[in-house]
Amino acid sequence: MKKILLAIFLITGSFNGFSQDIFGGKVTGNFQMDFQASKEDTIIGAEKVNEKALMNAFTNILYTNGDFSAGMRFEAYLNPILGFDPQYKGAGLAYRFASYKKDYLEITAGNYYEQFGNGLIFRSYEERNLGLDNAMDGLKIIARPIEGLAIKGIIGKQRYYWEDIWASDDFGLVRGLDAEISLNSLIKSIETSPFQISFGGSFVSVYEKAEDRFIIDQTTGDIFKVNTPENIASGAARMQISYKAFNLNAEYAKKGQDPNAVNGYIFHEGEAAYLSLGYAAKGLGINISAKRIDNMSSKSRRNETGNMLNVNYLPALTRQHAYSLFAMYPYATQVNGEMGIQADVIYKLKKNTFLGGNYGTDLKLNYSRAMSIDQEFVALNPALNYEGTDGYTSSFFKVGDEIYFEELNFELSKKISNTYKLSLMYSYQTFNPIAIGHPGEEFIYANIFAADLTQRLAKKSSLRYELQLLLTEQNYGELAAGNWIQGTIEYNLGGKFFAAVSDQWNYGKENGEKVHYYNFSVGYTHKTSRIQLSYGKQREGIICIGGVCRMVPASNGLFATITSSF
């Protein structure tokens, strides 16, 4: 271990010391280090941390020489910062690959990321700041034999913290094929036609050694053996059509019997459908999306729950908020069954009009709703529960009667003068706590407001003022803690230096407590390097990036981040 570290250190050190030209190739990469020191705080629920300091760090080193590239990522979690799974503790080379591209062929050996279509049956990706990484380890081949046709083949196993995945039968083998045709690139005579059509299909199979599962009938004492399938296949078909201002994107996926820990070991087949319609003209954009997910959790280990070993990607059809109080109740897809719709309208009021003012005004409207699917449960032997049965049947077009999440939000952004820019935002949210694993809790209804004003000072310096307010009647504990207000003032100098102070105040808690989550931060940016220090309190909550969420425990103390690209 130490030797590897030393080797990496020397290699990267020598790159930096001399030049990034190595045997005619180029070396690039990036680096991030997070450092946290948190102390106990009983008021906000920050637990005692045994280590004085926690640290996450990684660096990617990428070597490119013409058609050849190779790279590696070294990661260290000593110990992992709060909110990261303790199984990340340790350090080592988590990712390494070599890749060769020639003419129409691209071959990658080692670790890689890839996605088929919208990801309904396969997506390998990372969200480093969430501690989420399902990198494949194996082989990937992409062939583009003629223009407009791409064929991808993948085989491998998925990362699981620091486990030696190849040493254990416990980790399934993922194999897949995908083909995509862009008709307009394939057929030259229609290349510039207003009709643009592409379609694709994919197939994925996960192999995991069968295991003996037994269930006991509690009343008779009979023992049943469940035959777990070893190969779980899924397939998907998709198309994308655009005609002038209109476009359509649709994908349908089906998954074979896959009894697993997420679905309660039922044999019901999985199904997912996704449809998105868009209209895009100058100054007006509209998008309407709908999806149906039925028993589509797909992992390369049948007994796994949680965020690791995901083979596919089923994002929520809801707006991803940047303001913290708007993201207080984030929604994540219910992989066992959900029907969702979302609509977005984006409109620009032209400048030099009565409503648009001197500079024009941007308006955004977003609506989303997620419901349960229809479920007719099979006749149940109460002593057996549903394990080993088909579980339920479901009618495709019938919407279930439970609502998981609903939101209507509206945003207005406007440049008032050369000095001021203003954004106003409002959201009404209905949140069913069952969506984050709290069944039986009262629904949360919240009105949320934000105003954000940027003021240009002398050349290249600016001030930003932000005020947010969350109003809710629900006030029954950690999940729904009544009203919140947040204020932030941020100063920027020359795009290099910033300082900010903010306070998030939970002023209407049920037990009468008034909790302040104050935070001070400063940052300095030099080209592609950035260092940021903050001190203060972090509320317990959920951080979501790209549709995947992670619980962040409360903390009180210092947090520093250094990032750099080179």
Partner 1 sequence: MKKLILTIMIAALSYGILSAQDNQTKAQLPSVSVKTLDGKTIKASEFSNEGKPFVICFWATWCKPCMMELNAMAELYDDWQEETGIKIYAVSIDDARTCPKVKPLVSGSDWSFEVILDQNSELKRALGVNNPPHTFIVNEKGEIVWQHVGYAPGDEETLIEIYKKVVKQEEIK
Residues between 315 and 374 with contacts to partner 1, criterion CB under 8 A: 315-317, 320-322, 344-348, 359, 362, 364
Cβ nearer to partner 1, comparing 287 with 430: 287
Position among 85, 87, 104, 115 found at the interface with partner 1 (CB under 8 A): 115
Closest CA to 289 of 343, 367, 246, 251: 343
Per CB under 8 A, 413 contacts partner 1: yes
Q: Verify binding: residue 125, partner 1, rule CB under 8 A.
A: yes
Q: Which DSSP string do the residues of 384-430 spell out, in sequence order?
A: TTTTTS--EE--TTPEEEEEEEEEEEEEEEEE-SSSEEEEEEEEEEE
State how far the alpha carbon of 454 is from the alpha carbons of 84, 298, 417, 459, 495, in Å. 34, 45, 11, 14, 14
- Which string of x and - marks every residue 222-261 that binds partner 1 (by CB under 8 A)? ------------------x-x--x-x-x------------
Residue 16: name the closest of 58, 57, 59, 55 by CA.
59
The structure tokens 């977003």 sit at 366
Instruction: Quote the tokens at residue 81.
Output: 């910062």
User: In this chain, which stretch among 162-170, 180-188, 202-210, 441-449 interacts with partner 1, using CB under 8 A?
Assistant: 180-188
- Judged by CB under 8 A, the chain residues 262 through 281 that form the site for partner 1 are 276, 278-281
User: Cβ of residue 383: shortest distance to partner 1, in angstroms?
Assistant: 41
Nearer to partner 1, 242 or 519 (CB): 242
Give min distance, CB of 348 to partner 1, in A. Answer: 5
Position 207 contacts partner 1 (CB under 8 A): no
Q: Which residue number, 17 or 437, has a Cβ lying nearer to partner 1?
A: 17
For partner 1, the binding residues in 367-406 under the rule CB under 8 A are none
Residue placing its CB nearer to partner 1 in the complex, 28 or 394: 28
Between 201 and 264, name the residue whose CB sits nearer to partner 1. Answer: 201
Closest separation in Å from C-beta 362 to partner 1 = 6
Can you tell me the distance from the alpha carbon of 434 to that of 232, in angstroms, rounded to the nearest whole number?
29
Q: Does 90 bind partner 1 (CB under 8 A)?
A: no
Nearer to partner 1, 256 or 285 (CB): 285
Of these, 87, 257, 287, 385, which contacts partner 1 (CB under 8 A)? 287
Q: Which is nearer to partner 1, 193 or 305 (CB)?
A: 193
- Concatenating the DSSP letter of every residue in 472-539 gives ES-BSSSS-B--EEEEEEEEEETTTEEEEEEEEEETT-TTS--EEEEEEEEEEEETTEEEEEEEEEE-
109 interacts with partner 1 by CB under 8 A: no
CB-based contact 70:93 (threshold 8 Å): no
* DSSP bridge pairs for 203: 177, 235
* 8 Å CB contact between 61 and 50: no
Distance, CA of 374 to CA of 21 (rounded, Å): 60
Run of H or E including 175: strand 173-182
Q: Which of residues 131-170 bind partner 1 (CB under 8 A)?
A: 144, 150
Nearer to partner 1 by C-beta: 46 or 174?
174
Distance (Å) of CA 491 to CA 130, 365, 521: 28, 30, 10
Q: Which of residues 419-478 bind partner 1 (CB under 8 A)?
A: 421, 454, 456, 459-462
> What's the first-to-final CA gap in the chain, in angstroms?
25
Of 182 and 556, nearer to partner 1 (C-beta) is 182
Q: Judge contact between 566 and 31, C-beta under 8 A.
A: yes
For residues 42-71, which are near partner 1 according to CB under 8 A?
Answer: 55, 57, 59-60, 62, 64, 69
> Which CB atom, from 231 or from 358, has the smaller least distance to partner 1?
358
Q: Of these, 4, 7, 13, 398, which contacts partner 1 (CB under 8 A)?
A: 13
With binding defined as CB under 8 A, does residue 310 bind partner 1? no
Binding partner 1 (rule: CB under 8 A), the pick from 492, 504, 538, 556 is 492
Interatomic CA distance for residues 310 and 125, integer angstroms: 10
- Selected from 3, 48, 52, 527, the binder of partner 1 by CB under 8 A is 527
Q: Give me the least distance between CB of 254 and partner 1, in Å please.
A: 18
Contact 294, 271 (CB under 8 A): yes
Residue nearer to partner 1 on the CB measure, 12 or 447: 12
Nearer to partner 1, 87 or 287 (CB): 287
How far is it between the farthest Cα atoms of the chain?
Answer: 82
CA distances from 376 to 169, 385, 528 (A): 36, 15, 56
Residues belonging to the chain: 566
Q: How far apart are CA 542 and CA 320, in angstroms?
A: 13
Nearest distance in Å: CB 56, partner 1:
11
Q: Is 529 in the site for partner 1 (CB under 8 A)?
A: yes
The correct pick among 80, 119, 131, 433 for binding partner 1 (CB under 8 A) is 119
Q: Which of 38, 111, 134, 196 binds partner 1 (CB under 8 A)?
A: 196
**Structural tokens at position 371:** 């419901």
User: What three-state secondary structure class fits 8?
Assistant: helix
Check residue 7 for interaction with partner 1 (CB under 8 A): no
